[in-house]
Amino acid sequence: MTRRRAPARLLAVSIAALLAALPSLAQACAACGVGNGRNKAAFFITTIFLSLLPLGIIGALVFWLARNARGFIASEFRESDEDVPPAVAPGTGPAGS
């Protein structure tokens, strides 16, 4: 049985080696490694921009939430008795007379 498994192992190892060597053979990103310095700088600046963009969006969202939550929390702890008219004692109002 071990002689039957040897060709299958050899095939699997050769396929794995081919797949491991494939990116170097294909040069996966032809634009990054080849070209003039301006292209490299453009790719580098774009990479930095796209890396920082999600952090900026998350920061803006946290800032917006903190700014709006401050007003909401302040209104929650404000005395609510200011908005309610004073209670009328029973029998002293127009209906009780």
Q: What is the tens place of the pLDDT at every residue in 34-59?
A: 667 787 788 889 999 999 999 999 99
Tens of pLDDT along 61-74? Answer: 999 998 888 777 77
Let me know if residue 45 belongs to a domain: yes
Give the model's pLDDT for residue 49: 96
Let me know if residue 68 belongs to a domain: yes
Number of domains in the chain: 1
Let me know if residue 97 belongs to a domain: no
Let me know if residue 58 belongs to a domain: yes
Structural domain of residue 38, as residue ranges?
32-78
> At 12, phi and psi to the nearest 5?
-65, -40
Give the model's pLDDT for residue 91: 65
The pTM for the full model equals: 0.43
- For residue 2, pLDDT over 60 is answered with no
Give the model's pLDDT for residue 43: 83
Let me know if residue 23 belongs to a domain: no
